[in-house]
Amino acid sequence: MKRDRHVKIVATLGPSSSTYEMIRALHEAGADVFRLNMSHGSHEEIEERHKIIRQVEKDLNSPIAILADLQGPKLRVGEFANGSEELEWGQEFRLDLDETPGTSKRVQLPHPEIFEALEPGSTLLVNDGKIRLKVADCSSDHANCTVEAGGTISNRKGVNVPDVVLPVAALSDKDKRDLEFVCQLGVDWLALSFVQRARDVQEARDLANGRASIIAKIEKPSAVREFDNILAVSDGIMVARGDLGVELPVHSVPPIQKRLVRKCRAAARPVIVATQMLESMIESPMPTRAEVSDVSGAIYEGTDAIMLSAESAAGQYPIEAVQTMNNVAVSVESDPTYREVIEASRHADRKTVADGIVAATREIAETTDIKAICCFTSSGNTAVLVARERPRVPILALTSQRGTARKLSLSWGVQTVMTGELERFKQAVVNAARAARAEGYAGADDQIVVTAGVPFNTTGTTNILRVAPCDERLIYSTDPE
């Protein structure tokens, strides 16, 4: 489905968006990728949503990416005898392994791995950071704390430990079951929660075994510190600002977001900016001005995708939320300043022949009268490299692999067209010319740039570039091969 923008939109499905009619409407409104949140819903519900997405894809003849977001380990306090207690600033409060219901003085923290990592001076955050505890002394089975920010603490509230690396695997037993389930369903992307280090991503990659690409969610301070190593082993990145804003000072999140987006762009890794982008639209048909500015900022940074969470999954106005994101994106990308910002922040890490080919492709496209860049790709790598260049002209990816077409739905500016297997480059040029005309990117009198790797269907062989007319009669007359 042809879009009038480059940035992609990820919409989370849930109770508000689980029917065929709603999912189709969301795609037609602008959603390019659908997120299945494995924290909510049974396997049966997830399978049904997956089935509907694939039916919409078939009915509209429009490749759609499906992203399964794994829950990750959940660290929570135990239960209280009274259900909840009020903690006051300055009071002492104890966390321990004792299963006895909690009081105003103590509660169970059933995670011995946390006590192993704590040190005096460590901070623990409870209930999304609303309660802050400072560790005074600790051992392998308890931590005596001082309340630095008080409030109501109640049963099973979440716990964050921002300033230590926990000896906790990113994949819980539930995550491993969910991973196998969605890989068998046939999702395109896996988002991995609770990433602290590169080996967390590698474990998920080993379990996926090539059946899905891996997105590392950056939501912990340790992941920010280890970002370069995490990026090197990931297929994509999600900047999960909600959790980052709990474990880090909120004022530090915007510069971190900008830095991570630029690094992803330089490395040609798709990046999603996520969490609370249009939060007010859960209950309101209109966003706030601050939310529109937030979405705009991510687009100006050159992010590949922006994401809706509860807005589309559980909100009252899922279609309006997608339409709002689409409208903001179209408006931003039509601003001349957008191109200035994008081009000023282009810092690609070019080391290979393929890097040189796609850089030359962009230069040619932008200095001559070229209507589109058409790239033939088996794995999707050529199209991702072209997208890294953020060219001014449309990117048309032609592939014989349905999975590749779906996966590229997450990449900036890439529109995909299914094509048959190719054996000769001239055949590729003819197919590209026909596709550019059919999709409305060029007319018979226009020119396109075609990139590919020869021999065909071999990953990582991008090695050829040609400027070609869109009239295949001219192609045949100038190329007897």
- Residue 407 falls in the annotated catalytic set: no
Strand partners, 468: 448
Residue 421's identity, in one-letter code, is: E
Task: Judge whether 35 counts as a catalytic residue.
Answer: yes
- The one catalytic residue in 35, 106, 205, 220 is 35
* Annotated catalytic residue within 3, 54, 76, 392: 76
DSSP 42-107: -HHHHHHHHHHHHHHHHHHT---EEEEE------B---BTTSEEEE-TT-EEEEES--SPB-SSEE
The single residue listed with the structure tokens 């779906």 is 406
Q: How far apart are CA 239 and CA 96, in angstroms?
A: 33
Distance of alpha carbon 91 from alpha carbon 145, whole angstroms: 8
The verdict on whether 426 is a catalytic residue reads no
Sheet holding 142-149, edge to edge: 106-108, 92-96, 142-149, 131-138, 123-126, 159-160
Query: CA-CA distance, 136 to 144, in Å (whole number)?
Result: 6
* Residue 466 a catalytic site member: no
DSSP, collapsed to helix, strand or coil, labels residue 398 as: strand
CA 319, CA 311: separation in Å to the nearest integer?
A: 9
Q: Is 420 exposed, middle or buried (0-12, 13-18, 19+ CB in 10 A)?
A: exposed
With b meaning 16 or more CB within 10 Å and e meaning fewer, what string describes 335-371? Answer: eeebeebbeebbebebeeebbebbbebbebbeeeebb
CA 167 to chain centre: 25
Distance CA 31, CA 50 (A): 15
Kind plus residue range of the DSSP H or E element containing 449: strand 447-453
3-state secondary structure of 330: helix
Catalytic residue, from 12, 275, 303, 377: name it.
275
**Which member of 106, 205, 217, 466 is catalytic?**
217
Could you give the count of Cα atoms lying within 13 Å of 21 in the half-sphere of its Cβ? 1
Q: Which residues does the annotation mark as catalytic?
A: 35, 76, 217, 275
